[in-house]
Chains A and B, each alone.
Chain A
């Protein structure tokens, strides 16, 4: 449909539209170069030796497509372990935060009860609270429940960290869904739980997908929280491991290793983004009414 529209516009509009089209394409082209070039640089450098990186052109092809850097990063620097940790932490946190966030947003958006607005505004306040202020209290809270430096501890911290945004976003989404559908479900005999899981939640898929992407990116790249709350070497997540390449390199910096580590970190994010992006297309509520 959008293709048809652009086509029509192109045919109808004269030079003005052509000007807009050209300039916007130029701007977008420049922008994509700015975004893509560093990625290419990182990718190329991951295959190069230290000397090649320092002396050669940044975008030149590596002399050999060896995977030594990747192997070294994966095995010697325990990046594999870190990737596993990150995957566990992020996936668990993501599932939990989506489930809890959706339930919380649904109740706040569709049920009327005392204190509803207060809870919503407290959630919003959580959005504005700087994470730096929370670090020290969080440290002691986790320590006193005995989950400091453990993956579960990090998971619940991530959930708490991502919940306000999730609720805020899904609240608006659930409010926009037609109320008659849940009424129809209740007349069809569905209880509150079934209405939520089988009727309302499937209708919110597109909203859930967008929030899931944001949360995934945010949590995958999270650095400050693990640095403060997850200091045990075996429990390190990717961001910590990669950072250690730089800080721990000391006199002899292993740039190739660093770049290989970065590639390993980025790839899952790209894959996740491409996968979720397909879910974003089109609204699911289409066809409900009239």
Chain B
């Protein structure tokens, strides 16, 4: 087992001007489960493949433990990888698939058999050891791919969206299995996904990437409570955070008839480039329904109510049509999401008055996109 360090690791694909991964600095502690997350094309898979040795590193270094592996062949890195489409060897039985790496390493046959059987027991694959991959279901194939990684007891597990080919129910189930298996084995793991729910539920820490640049690294709680910039704020959390452009005047953030008081600290940290504007972020659950006339309250027209049993989410927009487009959420333009009491949801077309709960709003500079101190 070992830590993993990306030290200004950069990858520029041939024929491309912009780097796919731009000077990535990231440390994964020994035994940690780190999730790389971001929209497609953000460089998360490339980062993982650089660590695996499947992708060249154009500049910077990658270390596993204290060893610089930047120019080391994949086979000599002592890592195991689970691929998105599993990449099982079709002509080998499940047992041979799982034992292939050990066989190459020259492990005695009896020991291979024993280790494969142990891994198969953990993954509930014992009765399928003699089958070929084509005789397995999707979930079983996924477990074989996991087994192939476990059997080797490598220094680092790499997983590239291993759940994306499973159906929704199996995905949730396997998600918890992988997370608990990783805790049990204690192997350093780097896990790539585009699904932020997977990231929040599985990772010890999450790293968010966008356009090849690392946006923020932190525990799921940190990412959720104190996103460093507008992108992370909008990306982490489901349903997404509402983000609104407000004018700053009289120590308040103003949008049409909405006036939200700002603290001294926030006001002081705004610069000339911000042009007297501020971006406010507030999560659907940070909004309380209230009555007209309350300080900071604003009206929302209900377009749709999504009832999930434990929660109900109102998808709507600011009642003032001209100002409505200033507020967006991950779900779309001119849209605001509000969590409401599932027992008493409003009806479509209603107007509800909501107010941001004290201290639960996030302030961002419109010019830099960065979080402002509050």
- Which A residues have a C-beta under 8 Å from some C-beta of B? 178, 180-181, 183-191, 194, 199, 202-203, 205, 284-290
Contacts and interface: CB of A to CB of B under 8 A. Distances in A.
Given A178-B85, A290-B85, A290-B86, A190 B104 contact: yes
A194 B73 CA distance: 15
B85 A180 contact: yes
B75 to A, nearest CB: 4
Contact of A203 (B53, B83, B91, B100): B91
B308 to A, nearest CB: 29
B75 A189 contact: yes
Interface in B67-91: 73-75, 77, 79-81, 83-91
Interface of B: 52-54, 73-75, 77, 79-81, 83-91, 100-101, 104-105, 132-136, 138, 141, 148, 152, 165
Given A180-B85, A184-B83, A187-B80, A286 B90 contact: yes
A184 B84 CA distance: 11
30 contacts: A178-B85, A178-B87, A180-B84, A180-B87, A183-B83, A183-B87, A184-B81, A184-B148, A186-B54, A186-B75, A187-B52, A187-B75, A187-B77, A187-B79, A187-B81, A188-B75, A188-B80, A188-B100, A190-B100, A194-B104, A199-B89, A202-B91, A203-B90, A205-B91, A284-B90, A286-B90, A287-B136, A288-B86, A289-B86, A290-B141
A217 B87 CA distance: 35
Contacts of A287: 88, 90, 132-136, 141
A288 B133 contact: yes
A105 to B, nearest CB: 18
A161 B79 CA distance: 45
Given A287-B141, A288-B134, 5 more contacts: A178-B87, A187-B74, A187-B77, A188-B101, A287-B134
B138 A181 contact: no
Contacts of A185: 89, 100
A194 B104 CA distance: 9
A204 to B, nearest CB: 10
A286 B132 CA distance: 10
Contacts of B101: 188-189
Given A183-B54, A284-B90, A287-B136, A189 B83 contact: no
Contacts of B79: 187
A189 B105 contact: yes
Contact of B83 (A180, A186, A284): A180
A202 B88 CA distance: 13
Contacts of B81: 183-184, 187
B104 A286 contact: no
Contacts of B89: 181, 184-185, 199, 202-203, 288
Nearest to A290: B165
A240 to B, nearest CB: 40
Rank and list the top 9 A-B pairs by shortest CB-CB distance, nearest first: A287-B134, A180-B87, A289-B85, A188-B101, A184-B87, A287-B133, A202-B91, A189-B104, A189-B75
A286 B134 contact: yes
Given A290-B138, A290-B165, A188 B87 contact: no
Nearest to B104: A189
Contact of A288 (B52, B88, B152, B165): B88
> Which of A181, A184, A199 has the most chain B CB within a 10 Å cutoff?
A184
A284 B89 CA distance: 10
Contacts of A286: 90, 134
A181 B229 CA distance: 39
Nearest to A205: B91
> Which of B53, B54, B91 has the most chain A CB within a 10 Å cutoff?
B91
B231 to A, nearest CB: 30
B75 A190 contact: yes
